[in-house]
Amino acid sequence: MRKKLYIFIFVFSIINSISFAHPDLISGLKIWLKTDYGVVYDENYKVSAWNDASGNGCVFSQSNPDKQPLYIISIDSMNHKSAIESDNNTLKLN
């Protein structure tokens, strides 16, 4: 009985990791924002545009430098992944 449970957990883990690793395969996906794709930022790490990775052509943008979000190259607690720090209503969808 234990072998069946372990096999189920292993298969479930593989299915989960595949579906989360490829959100572009999700039916009906409208937008997919990734911090390692399509981010346009300046030398001060201020984000002026963030392009959608879903293939639907959405672009979040902010032309006002005072309201532009901050691109963070690496966060230790997030396994050194990048992030974008933003206040509410700072990005506009085009």
d(CA 28, CA 87): 28
pLDDT reading at 7 higher than 70: no
- What is the pLDDT averaged over residues 5-28? 53
* 40-87 pLDDT, tens digit each: 999 999 999 999 888 888 898 889 998 898 999 988 888 888 988 887
Domain boundaries, the chain: 27-93
pLDDT of residue 51: 92
Q: Is residue 55 left, alpha or beta, with left meaning phi > 0 and alpha meaning psi from -120 to 50?
A: left
CA distances from 5 to 16, 18, 40, 67 (A): 16, 20, 46, 51
Mapped onto helix, strand or coil, the DSSP state of residue 85 is strand
What are the φ and ψ backbone dihedral angles of 9, each rounded to 5 degrees? -65, -40
pLDDT of residue 86: 81
**Model confidence pTM above 0.95:** no
- What is the pLDDT averaged over residues 1-18? 44
